[in-house]
Amino acid sequence: MTQTPITRLQARACWLAEPGRAELREESLAPPADGELTIRTLHSAISRGTEMLVFRGHVPQSEFERMRAPFQAGDFPAPVKYGYCNVGLVEAGPAQWLGRAVFCLYPHQTRYVVPVGAVTPLPEGLAPARAVLAANLETAINALWDAAPRLGDRIAVVGAGVVGLLVAWLAARLPGCEVQLVDIDPARRALAAQLGLDLALPTEARAEADLVIHASGHGDGLATALRLAAFEATVLELSWYGARPVTLALGEAFHARRLQIKSSQVGQVAPAQRARWSYGRRLTLALRLLAEAGAALDPLITDAAPFDQLPEVLARLAGGTSASTLCQRIDYF
């Protein structure tokens, strides 16, 4: 008896062929099995932090396994298919999923097949083009869980990138808290003001903060964060430097002021929440907050480009000539 051949879908994916050079490759997808979905991508987004370190080949060998994305293919440093911010439409699978817009921690690829449990449906009212902020907002949520701010705290957030802006935006909604965003680029003032935030240059920033959250991605920013911290305050470090060393002047007032530096990383749910919160519940919260925010956070999505241009976009962002770009969205139309 002759078996009917399985019809396979074709897809295109972005691969880092070698550090500093990405390319689009053809991929063949089998139909979804029971409990799986075929997703057609609508939008993805580029992480200006981690993904740029991956693109440059700056993931330390000691972190090759820990830094794997959920659906990564290949291995660091390259060739590797990497990414974790994908919004798409369900094309095939169980009937109740057909036509639904979903978020998935999947690399940049036009179509893909994943288990049902790997996707989170977008809440009503959340536009897919806006949902690309979910991964960054999830990081910001986890950071505030780790930081554990108290009512009325003076909070400084150093670094007005996407994550820093989202952390400050969330923190400013805590009753009684005074939040100041700190960045070296005065052009970010207008954007901060759109989010209802006060931005100061490092030389203008208010000292004696009860809590400082650092998200600039630069050692100088961490030094600023330590300078702004009050006696026995905590500096929460959100930046990941990859293989780059960071030098700090810990021989100055660090010990006398009894400061603490604490790390935060979205790969684990914050300890205080871990017993009750799963990754899925945390992501659902991020998507719900995005839906409730409406268009308020749209200014963070500063650039959009078609999928066909993704290799060039990655090279441009890694080259440092796009300092004004915050969230870079990729569109798949």
pLDDT, tens only, 99-129: 999 999 999 999 999 999 999 999 999 999 9
Specify whether the CB–CB gap between 209 and 149 falls below 8 A.
no
Residues of the chain with CATH 3.90.180.10: 9-128+292-331
Q: How far is CA 51 from CA 162, 228, 239, in A?
A: 14, 29, 13
Considering only CA atoms, which of 163, 220, 165, 174 is closest in space to residue 193?
Answer: 165
CATH of region 136-263, choose from 3.40.50.970, 3.40.50.620, 3.40.50.150, 3.40.50.720: 3.40.50.720
**Token reading at 55:** 């693109």
Residue 29 tokens, joined: 């997808």
Angle at 60 between CA 55 and CA 66, to 5 degrees: 90
Compute, in degrees rounded to 10, the torsion defined by CA atoms 62, 65, 66, 68.
130
Collapsing DSSP to helix, strand or coil, 125 comes out as coil
Average pLDDT rounded to a whole number, residues 249-269: 93
Band the pLDDT of 249: cuts 50, 70, 90.
confident
Fill in the amino acid letter for 72.
Q
9-128+292-331, CATH topology level: Quinone Oxidoreductase; Chain A, domain 1 (3.90.180)
- Read off the pLDDT of each residue in 1-28 and give the average, rounded to a whole number: 86
State both tokens at 222: 């961490």
The Cα 259–Cα 108 span in angstroms is 41
Cβ–Cβ < 8 Å for 316, 323: no
Range in 2-6, 64-68, 123-127, 205-209 with the lowest mean pLDDT: 2-6
pLDDT for 1 beyond 50: no
Statement: residue 162 has pLDDT above 60 = yes
Q: How far, in Å, CA of 50 to CA of 265, rounded?
A: 11
Domain(s) labelled CATH 3.40.50.720 in the chain stretch across 136-263
With a cut of 70, say whether residue 5 has pLDDT above it: no
Model-wide pTM > 0.85? yes
